Structure 1
């Protein structure tokens, strides 16, 4: 005699409607964590499904909030009223040259960048574009503090020998992206093709970047503060031959051409043993001129709040990039390193004078202090280091 155990099932049926009482055709009813087990509502919004007890039914429909309901161990009739979603993909807002628009109505090539992807420990917003924004090529040509910003192009270089920089607008005004604090950015959009940039004429031929900054809102005062510490090192440091290797190779170069050696055996010994480093030195110019790395300090604070009549957003930030040159610590009044400091400030105020009149005031800027190593160009130090021999 065989014994069979049959699992108990329950029947669930009902009608799915919207908030106006209209039936929703094709609404999805599935069992949570049971792929493939589900039904859809018919032309009258009705559905019927057989499931095991104590399972969750998930009701979903495009443009409406998803609902989940626990089904117990008895047959039941479950009528569902779906609520419209407050934020859907169809209502997503993107910033264009003529102002905010629904993304579904935009036909041009526009990329809306998640500001969170740009919030990286870099000194400039332009350095965060590479790898985070589709269609944007960025290249950093220098590592010197204050000069380590990236050049970038939208969809490549369109004109050789001419200006290829994109038009950058911050709250509708043209300005440099490198003077902007990352924490102040509310939205970041890249306009790429001709249909999206046509409103800017020839100035937008190389693409347009639209940046809007944060503003105050109704409610309690909100204070945000952030501090970062970064240690920066070089990716590659050239390695040069030491004094003994250099002297031996110099001798070899002369003797193989039937010429007298540059250094005698006693001089080679003096260089190798460093018995008289003043006359026969063995200098590693990279170790003498450069440190292993340098710190970068970054701090920011912002305050926002307001009421129904006026709202405000205030922010300030500080950036301090240290140089990697070894300097004489006894020199207190003159800094021979390559340092960079920047102070950013911003104030955005919105005032409702009347029910139909809104005044917006925005003030922003940056104060920079760049310190060089005393040379006309930082490249002079590198040229000298490459030109000197260790002896």
Structure 2
């Protein structure tokens, strides 16, 4: 008996399996199983739709697994479409807008969160990573401009740090008909994660071990002590003050002759490593029979951080992340018509960081110049002074450590009964699920003293700042969350000749306890029904009917209906038969969705304690006095989305080319936005359901794959556009139309419009200026948009591009004679990048902060024609350091996101060692970036824990 699995371990139904030695053959069933006699060393050939997929040398065992590695059958297979509530449908029975990525692609990414593995792979899904800190490097995601809900096996879960090996597929649900059953949580779309289950077939054991090195992509380039001191003197003169560094000081910085009195410390080099390690180990078991099927997966993951450590410590002060996960999915046939599913998940995550915290260390790096103090004084004590009492090296290795411990446990229990004995096609299901999450902190930070050394040698004196404290030993709880989910469903699915019907209704209750808040309960019902005729015409309706306890009593339940139609034109008799056109399908959907954004009991009026009260103008002290808190919104309701989706799917040229193109237009109304009434009512007012926004765009998916004997290759790509517009908000009166937020893209940045740099006093005299500020040559000049002769708030307008956001990805690969290779490119266009603050501007932090290489491009009389930066000053410059177009740059970029090369050892060898397959691989993540503005990483913008470049290698063995 042979079990045929594709590259993602899906059973391959309908494949032709033949023994060329014994001249017998069989076809695989829905479990991928073909019953075929064989002897050791017989040649087994697997074909699909007449196409040779693999030749296999039989090992003589009773049960054998044949894997069709690579991507050469991904398009051929009609995989089920995954919707909400873990509903799996034939593509002919749904009109939903979806796209999926499978395990074979996910595991190529060396990441800790499944969200990170989706970057560049799915049309409509925009990702952005703002930190590379171990375990906390998850990307933020937007699906067609909205925040999608995450579903794991159909249940809403805020948990995406799970084992990539345990994931069967990840599907994005984009339109109204695909998410309507989520009701109040349907507007943002959904990311549906499906975990692996058992199957009928011989046991499959898989072991993967991999390890690699990480290095930071980009960090701000700071100035050395000599350049810093020169520039600081210049800034002092520009600010009307006297320089503080003498020529002898400058000479000492330049020559390094006085490392104590005139230090030059590159803090990034001193406290950060060039590289760190990443490792992951996975072991899973899968198989079963007609009575029980199982999948069990175990993973250990360890990611080290960038901070250096000291051998003097008996504990780690580095940032690090270790993760242990276990997944057990077991399905048992209690009777021929009843299946019990018991799915368990457990995760333990451990996070460490220095006692002063990673965030504070990066802040110190931005606020501390290279010449502030030495790392160590002559006597070995930590350097410091009145202004800088947090020695960054001591913060890194001598501030103790902090631990964060997280535990997540999930139990899902499902009972499904086939009711064919009552009505053919009828079924019923009950589901009970429980989740428990805990995050605990252990604080073992400690203080340290720094000393300012005066003089050298035996005459040196040391001034103490701070204290050498004892190590703390405190514990606290971040959160303790619980979720109980209960669902009951009844469905009907049956074929009547050319007619196919699939319908169901569900009742759900989702109760969430987060920290000390009162429980949040979503309750109600949902349903869907689809009808298909001859796989030509499909009609589908779906709805959600639910509410939560965050709305006033007596509020009606929210009703969120959606409907869709599809038409397979190639099945029509009038359609000409083209050899190059295999399939052409049009689909459309429209519906209303909901978003629960009310907040914590905002419909109730709260009163808070006040130290005093006022009666007729007289203050009266009273410990029991109360005052009104933020004004309640007793009419709060859910936000709504009206979503239109139009699409086309086609396969061409003998199924080599797949194309899907879609247009969407979504209007979101009753958005909770500021009423701008505080000055009228005299107190802060809750947000009101008054906002209206619109999002629209196009999406394109292309896949081409082809084989020539042992050589096969694929090219896939996706591109998306996103245009947004504020239709209405209760906007304050603005005298000038160019200042109106209404009609602009959602989140449009406003600021002053820079018009170059002042070059002369004559130009200053002839130009409008900020009231109360006297500019000088080298300052930023702004446009006087209302021509009133003054630069003020009435001259602020939109800055940056307002073109639709474009994001895209391309995946290219091939396989030949055991080798496989793939490349993933990912990019964004028409993205704004606003750079401000102490990682951009010079001498912040009260005038004592860091300066950077790009500050050397400042304006001076000698560089007036080529300056790229305004004149430098000390501290905040009221004219230059305001939000303006001068600091707005293009955030467009193209990144080589992932590359992998693998080799699968020939079955002629693996059969001898009783192994199904052995694969060696090397891969890389974030290897190269081309950005329109390349001074900073386009995602993190500098000044935070940098995104990591990873080079990784591993071994995968399957038994």
Q: TM-score, normalised by structure 1?
A: 0.71
Alpha-carbon contact 1:126-1:177 (below 8 Å) kept = no
Alpha-carbon contact 2:330-2:341 (below 8 Å) kept = yes
The 5-angstrom pairing of residues 1-391 of structure 1 reads: 65-66=49-50, 91-97=78-84, 99-119=87-107, 120-157=109-146, 164=147, 166-254=148-236, 260-333=242-315, 335-376=316-357, 378-391=358-371
Alpha-carbon contact 2:214-2:276 (below 8 Å) kept = yes
Partners in 2 of 1:250 and 1:184 — Cα distance? 56
**SS in structure 1 opposite 2:279?**
strand
Mind listing any 5+ residue stretches in structure 2 that lack a counterpart?
1-47, 53-73, 372-959
Q: Displacement of 1:89 after TM fit?
A: 5.9
Q: Displacement of 1:375 after TM fit?
A: 2.6
Q: Displacement of 1:260 after TM fit?
A: 4.8
* 1:68-94 Cα deviation digits (max 9, x unpaired): 9xxxxxxxxxxxxxxxxxx99695421
Report the counterpart of residue 33 of structure 2 in structure 1.
none
**SS in structure 2 opposite 1:380?**
helix
**SS in structure 2 opposite 1:125?**
coil
Pick which of 261-270 and 313-322 moved more. 261-270
Partners in 2 of 1:320 and 1:88 — Cα distance? 35
* 1:126-167 Cα deviation digits (max 9, x unpaired): 00112101111111121111210011111113xxxxxx3x22
Partners in 2 of 1:254 and 1:209 — Cα distance? 54
Q: Displacement of 1:178 after TM fit?
A: 2.1
Over the residues paired in the alignment, what is the CA RMSD in angstroms?
A: 2.5
Change (3 A) 1:234 1:274: same
Alpha-carbon contact 1:91-1:104 (below 8 Å) kept = no
Partners in 2 of 1:94 and 1:143 — Cα distance? 33
Q: Displacement of 1:297 after TM fit?
A: 0.9
Q: Displacement of 1:269 after TM fit?
A: 2.9
Pick which of 189-198 and 244-253 moved more. 244-253
* 1:96-151 Cα deviation digits (max 9, x unpaired): 23622110221121213233222221111100112101111111121111210011
Give aligned pairs, total: 302
Q: Displacement of 1:191 after TM fit?
A: 1.2
Change (3 A) 1:248 1:360: same
Q: Displacement of 1:67 after TM fit?
A: 8.0
Alpha-carbon contact 1:90-1:102 (below 8 Å) kept = no
Pick which of 167-176 and 277-286 moved more. 167-176
Partners in 1 of 2:258 and 2:84 — Cα distance? 71
Q: Displacement of 1:302 after TM fit?
A: 0.3
**SS in structure 2 opposite 1:203?**
coil
Alpha-carbon contact 1:90-1:104 (below 8 Å) kept = no
Report the counterpart of residue 489 of structure 2 in structure 1.
none
Change (3 A) 1:249 1:111: closer
Q: Displacement of 1:343 after TM fit?
A: 0.9
Q: Displacement of 1:285 after TM fit?
A: 1.2
Change (3 A) 1:342 1:255: same
**SS in structure 2 opposite 1:282?**
coil
Partners in 2 of 1:108 and 1:286 — Cα distance? 50
Change (3 A) 1:361 1:383: same
Change (3 A) 1:261 1:151: closer
Alpha-carbon contact 2:302-2:322 (below 8 Å) kept = yes
Pick which of 225-234 and 124-133 moved more. 225-234
Q: TM-score, normalised by structure 2?
A: 0.30
Q: Displacement of 1:238 after TM fit?
A: 1.3
- Name the one with the larger helix percent: 1
Change (3 A) 1:178 1:257: closer
* 1:2-32 Cα deviation digits (max 9, x unpaired): xxxxxxxxxxxxxxxxxxxxxxxxxxxxxxx
* 1:263-314 Cα deviation digits (max 9, x unpaired): 3333333332222312221111111121112211111110122222222211
Alpha-carbon contact 2:102-2:168 (below 8 Å) kept = no
Pick which of 260-269 and 216-225 moved more. 260-269
Mind listing any 5+ residue stretches in structure 1 that lack a counterpart?
1-63, 69-86, 158-163
Change (3 A) 1:258 1:149: closer
- Name the one with the larger strand percent: 2
Partners in 2 of 1:195 and 1:97 — Cα distance? 10
* 1:172-217 Cα deviation digits (max 9, x unpaired): 2222342321111123222111111111102122112222211222
